[in-house]
């Protein structure tokens, strides 16, 4: 994971992260419980070796926790989930 991208839209006073594109792909797979064991091991090893990626991962987890708390157990229609997943795949391929 040696290529990086800078995210200048951090949530804490314009905080900037230098993130690896591979990290971004794996982070969401891991957080969604969709990563296989090899991907999860690779991700966790990377997070431990990159402060920026670890900080971003923790921020993402905090956002998800707030959303879960505020939204509760609202059931999202399967059609919407699939549409979002398809759009995300299109974006990551582009």
Summarize pLDDT for 17-53 with one digit per residue, the tens: 677 777 877 888 898 889 999 999 999 998 888 888 8
Under a CB-based contact definition with an 8 Å cutoff, are residues 31 and 63 in contact? no
Check: pTM over 0.75? Answer yes or no: no
Query: In the numeric block, which tokens belong to residue 89?
Result: 């795949």
Cα(35)–Cα(76) distance, integer angstroms: 21
* pLDDT surpassing 80 at residue 8: no
Cα(23)–Cα(8) distance, rounded to whole angstroms?
17
User: Does residue 7 contact residue 16 with C-beta atoms inside 8 Å?
Assistant: yes
Overall average pLDDT of the 58-67 stretch: 90
What is residue 17's predicted lDDT score, i.e. its pLDDT? 61
> Residue 55 is encoded by which pair of tokens?
């900080």
Average pLDDT over residues 66-74: 83
């Amino acid at each position: 994971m040696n290529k990086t991208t800078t995210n200048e839209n951090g949530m804490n006073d314009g905080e900037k992260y230098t993130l690896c594109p591979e990290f971004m792909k794996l982070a969401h797979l891991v957080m969604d419980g969709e990563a296989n064991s090899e991907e999860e091991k690779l991700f966790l090893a990377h997070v431990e070796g990159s402060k920026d990626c670890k900080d971003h991962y923790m921020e993402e987890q905090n956002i998800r926790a707030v959303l879960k708390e505020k939204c509760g157990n609202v059931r999202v229609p399967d059609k919407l989930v699939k549409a979002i997943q398809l759009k995300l795949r299109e974006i990551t391929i582009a």
